[in-house]
Amino acid sequence: MTQWDMNNDIERVLYSEAEIAAAAKRVGEELAADYEGRTPMILSVLKGAVLWTVDVMRHMQYSDVEFIDVSSYHGGIASSGEVELNIDLQTDIEGRDIIIMEDIVDTGRSLKFMIELLESRGAASVKVASLLDKKEGRVVEANVDYVGFDVPKAFVVGYGLDYKQLYRNLPYVGVLKREVYDTAHADLVDTADITSEH
């Protein structure tokens, strides 16, 4: 490991590459069983959920894929509270079963926005499969139906999750060192909540 190495910016690894692969297999197999005989539409939330989407889909049967991009963080570590639709899906979803693939559900604002959007367009059903569920961060009601991991109060990056568009390509999910991000927001995370196991 050289000084010019992203791994140096990580305080600790929360979920290893192997653990993530096992979670993707578990969630994919659950989805395959629950949607047997149907062809759901996988709605991958850009950019963070792309890796999770691909790895989960490997364990599913018939499905097609669409993409959507919404944002409430705008590159920082704290939600702005305002959700913007940056890229809309291009397919008619009326009567379709939709599975939203998220990298992380935190405040729930973005997820609530997407669910309401899909329901208004006539989706038959909307379910959510998220790599990470940060329940402590909720400010609106938002339910995750399929969860990879329940994540503690910490600012995490890797495996699709970013800070200022960096760290997405790390093969694991880890806690970003406090000195890497704006110290004015350091009170938003508490790495003491993280167990020694992760």
Active site residue 106: yes
Strands 84-87 and 64-71: antiparallel
Active-site annotation holder among 9, 103, 106, 162: 106
Tell which residue, 138, 158, 144, has the closest CA to residue 9.
158
Q: Which residues pair with 13 in a beta bridge?
A: 174
Dihedral (CA of 76, 78, 83, 88) sign: positive
Q: How many CA atoms lie within 13 A of 27 on its CB side?
A: 28
Residues labelled as active-site residues = 106
